[in-house]
Structure 1
């Protein structure tokens, strides 16, 4: 069974939660879908590399992967990502994203199968999404669906 990660911008937690059933694109939110970049581990690692801080600083933020939908849901969840994470991505120059994609590609969760160039492209897409979310004063969210 595969998990899909849909990153999207929304004006607040309640609006983000409205994308629970149908998904962010059907709810009209700007979104990206990935099959491998989970918010809790891999995105946290990438942002830690980006801001040159320990992973614990990123993952210790109270809004890092904070659940906004029911904890009883068994196959779909929506979580928050802190505005600081959104802003770090939005402000990152493409050269810096390419630079961090090399050590990030060596994360054990990629099982040795990550291409730094592909990861740099994914980070560029996430950075653009983060920039668009910030320009609308929206937060960044992730919908995870099995």
Structure 2
């Protein structure tokens, strides 16, 4: 594991067999989620406020991972086997790259769209599940980003990383990120997107302080 410019890069976690949570532990109502007796109706503003609250905490981990669907993705964080979050899923764990904030400029560059177009997709950072009062949050990434990243010319990822590192919207209040670290992350994320697309899976991110 390497720490540079406030970003910690970790290699992909190998796929292993995973336990399945009980139906009572699954949290996928159509527009919200439940935890215990507490229910939350999720709106677009809720999604960003939850993500914003999470990134303010020191030492937040972000696990980008692939799952068959939303219900399968929730089982990465709501576990019945006492294993660490994300165990058994094809995933990439990192610090310092929040899917709602820091990843946005990279999405825009790879997809060739402006930020407003990227954030207009209702799948982007849609809250799909939560443990307790926010100990772990799981959000979705868009299928469009998965497909664009999987098909993107990998020889251009270094150029994307340079533009990403210079974006005023990314990494606000932190030391300037190293483009080489960002390029490595993008290459790993592109590999994850490629495998997910081939398997017909979707991309997600769990957030854990």
Which residue of the other structure, out of 160, 164, 179, is the alignment partner of 1:104?
164
Higher Rg? 2
- Asked if 1 retains the 8 angstrom alpha-carbon contact of 2:111 and 2:145, the reply is no
- Does structure 1 residue 141 correspond to structure 2 residue 204? yes
TM-score of the pair, normalised by structure 1: 0.91
Taking CA–CA contacts closer than 8 Å with sequence separation of 6 or more, which of the two structures ends up with the larger relative contact order? 1
Which residue of the other structure, out of 166, 173, 195, is the alignment partner of 1:132?
195
- Does structure 1 residue 5 correspond to structure 2 residue 68? no
Q: Distance in 1 between matches of 2:116 and 2:131?
A: 23
- 1:96-125 Cα offsets, whole Å, 9 max, x none, are 211111111123443342111211111000
- Does structure 1 residue 20 correspond to structure 2 residue 20? no
Give the direction of change, closer, same or farther, for the CA distance of 1:60–1:34 in structure 2 (3 Å limit): same
Q: Which has the higher helix share?
A: 1
TM-score of the pair, normalised by structure 2: 0.65
- Of 11-20 and 44-53, deviating more is 44-53
- Of 10-19 and 49-58, deviating more is 49-58
**Matched residue pairs, number?**
144
- Does structure 1 residue 44 correspond to structure 2 residue 104? yes
Give the alignment's Cα RMSD to 1 decimal.
Answer: 1.5
Q: Which runs of 5+ in 2 are unaligned?
A: 1-57, 79-83
- 1:67-89 Cα offsets, whole Å, 9 max, x none, are 00148632210001111011111
Q: SS state of the match for residue 159, structure 2?
A: helix
- Of 49-58 and 31-40, deviating more is 49-58
- Of 1-10 and 101-110, deviating more is 101-110
Q: SS state of the match for residue 143, structure 1?
A: strand
Q: Distance in 2 between matches of 1:60 and 1:101?
A: 23
